[in-house]
Amino acid sequence: MVQEIVLIGRSNVGKSTLFWELTGTKVRVGKRPGITQYPFKARVGDIFYVDMPGYGFMLKASHADQEKTKDLIVQYFEEHAPEILMAVQVVDASSFLDIADRWEKRGEVPLEIEIWEFLDDMGFDSVLAANKMDRITKADKDLALDLICERLGMLPPWRQWTDKIAPISAKRGDVQALKGIISKKVATKNSPGL
């Protein structure tokens, strides 16, 4: 069976840019959110990578629209559960905390956190790709990653979680941390006894 690695995340966080880095398949990327409309797949070896549409168009999406995309993602994971090897949840590390704060001030659970918990509850192996690290100054990187970990229920420091969180910059082609986690996962799949 061909297994899937699925990229999910809010609109505009860089999923399609990362998809291109991982698969060599160019898909439309854009400055406006909502560029990717349907799940898009590309095969590399015996793995299908899946680029999903983003949830929560940042500025003008209604609550109902956000719920609709969330439902689409949840449904995709439920229907494809047997072939999903791993979920890669992509966030824009440079804006994640501001957005999460805003939601929490409104008394809502940020979508990112809801989806992260959903994946965990469903028993999927998931990794957080903290993208756009190039936008964070060097001195602030560790702190930003620690805070992201904390929000997702992983006790900081983030360096304890290098199998769960991968700081990357898809646009700069700096995705080694994520590729490392993926190769490890694929290797254990191929030799489950190890």
Ligand X SMILES: Nc1nc2c(ncn2[C@@H]2O[C@H](COP(=O)(O)OP(=O)(O)OP(=O)(O)O)[C@@H](O)[C@H]2O)c(=O)[nH]1
Among 4, 13, 16, 158, binds Mg ion (CB under 5 A): 16
CA-CA-CA-CA torsion for 142, 148, 152, 158, nearest 10 degrees? -10
Q: Is the CB of residue 90 less than 8 Å from the CB of residue 129? A: yes
At which residue do the structure tokens 């756009």 appear? 132
Contact map string, positions 141 to 170, toward ligand X, x by CB under 6 A: ----------------------------xx
Chain residue whose CB lies nearest ligand X: 54
Interface pick for ligand X out of 23, 69, 126, 131 (rule CB under 6 A) = 131
Rounded to an integer, what distance in angstroms lies between the CA atom of residue 53 and that of residue 7? 9
135 binds ligand X (CB under 6 A): yes
Helices (H) and strands (E) in the chain, counts: 6, 6
Nearer to Mg ion, 36 or 126 (CB): 36
Closest to ligand X by CB, 53 or 110: 53
Phi and psi at 3, nearest 5°, equal -100, 160
AA letter at 125: D
Residue 36 binds to Mg ion (criterion: CB under 5 A): yes
Q: Parallel, antiparallel, or unpaired: how do β-strands 40-44 and 126-131 relate?
A: unpaired
Q: Decide which of ligand X, Mg ion, none touches 34; Cβ closer than 5 to 8 Å per partner kind.
A: ligand X
Nearer to ligand X, 31 or 138 (CB): 31
Instruction: For residue 69, state whether it binds ligand X (rule: CB under 6 A).
Output: no
| Site for ligand X contains 34 (CB under 6 A) | yes
Give the amino acid at 172.
R
User: Cβ distance 135 to 94 under 8 Å?
Assistant: yes
Binding footprint of ligand X on the chain (CB under 6 A): 9, 11-17, 29-31, 33-36, 53-54, 131-132, 134-135, 169-171
